[in-house]
Structure formats: structure tokens, C-alpha cells
Structure 1
Amino acid sequence: MSSSGSPKDNSFVNMVNPYMNELKMHPKELLLKDGKVQVEDVRGPKGEGSLEARMEKLEQEVFKYNKVAEREVEIVHKINAELIAEHKKETAELWDDIFSLH
């Protein structure tokens, strides 16, 4: 089999995954100006400064978002622990009520 594939293979891929063509397209953004929707290509970030400075800035941004994500995970764990504790407390009270009826 050849690695390039035949046109028939490409049509099969497109049939199996109809969104593949959209994934291959350049991303677009919709802008609302003066009440009209305009479609423009997404522009990449402008390179300002040296590569090392931009990489350092990117690293700091990643570090910041990593910390935010860690805090969010901790908050979710705390909320879950509180809900579980409250549920256990309510369940224990219900069992006490059930046993008192017997």
C-alpha cells in the first residue's frame, strides 16, 4: 500500500469524519461592527521582544493558570468533602429515627 493514499481513501475519510475539512480550515472569528457581522481570519500573537522574553512570559502565564487550576481542584475537593460529610450526618440521623421506631 502506498502512503499517499488514493482519492477514494480521502473521500472515505471525509465520509467517516465530516468535520475533518472544518478542522483543516484556518480559524475565523466573528466580529460585530456597526450592527453587521464580519468574518475575519484569526491573527496570531504579535512577536514583541526576543524569543527568550516571550518564552519566559508564556512560562509565567502557564504557571499562573496552573496555580488557578490547582486552587479550583482544591475547592472542588473541599465542597465534595463537605457534601459527603453532610450526607453522612443526615443518613445517620435518619437511621437513628428508623431504629427508634423499632
Structure 2
Amino acid sequence: MTSPISSKDKFYEKVINPYLPEVMKHPQANEMREGVLHIRGVQGPKKTGSMETRLEEVEQEIFRCQGMVERGLNANHSMITEFTRDHKLDNENIGEAMFKLHERIEHLQAQIYDLQNQNCEYESRFNRMSLAIDFRIP
């Protein structure tokens, strides 16, 4: 005999997790051929051989995947260490680099100040020239 589904289970399926029946459904493959939608159930791999041979195949596949992951991690680790080695500065170099940057900033600010002063000089010259032309006696 089948056991009746309690109201608590129905409440869980319909209210708390409404997607549960869809998740529990057998997977399907949808494909469109000649304008017609074909839906078919996905079939798993054919089981051939004994249980031990299939488990050994799965184990070998796991070892291959594990080896790929380990090689990827090693490559990632070596890239990170190479990057940090290439871009690492000790404290003296950082202080020296900051001092040089500060000097360069001061030099550029001085050039900007000189250009502003030069611009003011040119403006005052042009103002004097225009005033001189305005006050000419015809």
C-alpha cells in the first residue's frame, strides 16, 4: 500500500518550495527541428561492465580532474609569486620613490605657476596696448 501524503508535506511542496516538483522531474532535452519543438527525456550513459570496472573508470576520471586542478593551482600560485616578486619594493625604495614623486610634483607645480604668471603678463600687456590705442589723438 502507498502511504498517504500528509498535509504538512503538501504545504511544504506548494507554499515553501513551489519549485520542488519541477526539480524532482526527470530531465528533458528540448530541440527545435523544422519548426517543431521536440521534447524527449534525457537518457543516462549505457551501463556496461561490472560495477568494479565502472567504479575504477570513475576513479581514474576523478584522478585526472584532480591532477588538472592541482596543475592549475600550481600555475596560479607560481604566477602570483612571480608577480609579487617583480613588484615588491622594500621600505627604502618606497621612501625614495615617494621623495622623487614629491619632487616631480613640486617641479610641475612651479611650471604651472610660471605659466600662470606669464599669462597674466601677456594679459596686462594687451590691456595696455588696447588702452594706448583708445587714447590716441586722431
| Percent of aligned positions that are identical | 31
Identify the residue that residue 66 of structure 2 maps to in structure 1. Answer: 66
Q: Considering only aligned residues, what root-mean-square deviation do their CA atoms show, in Å? A: 3.2
> Unmatched 5+ residue regions in structure 2?
104-138
Tell me, what secondary structure is at the counterpart of 2:66? helix
What do the CA deviations read for 1:2-53 (whole angstroms, capped 9, x no partner)?
xx87325532454333332222111122335456543221111111122222
- Relative to structure 2, which stretch is displaced further, 32-41 or 55-64? 32-41
- Relative to structure 2, which stretch is displaced further, 28-37 or 53-62? 28-37
2:13/2:21 contact within 8 Å kept = no
2:28/2:42 contact within 8 Å kept = yes
- Relative to structure 2, which stretch is displaced further, 39-48 or 24-33? 24-33
**TM, length-normalised to structure 2:** 0.52
Which structure's relative contact order is higher, taking Cα pairs within 8 Å and 6+ residues apart?
1
Between the aligned partners of 2:36 and 2:71, the Cα distance in structure 1 is 41
Number of corresponding residues? 98
Tell me, what secondary structure is at the counterpart of 1:99? helix
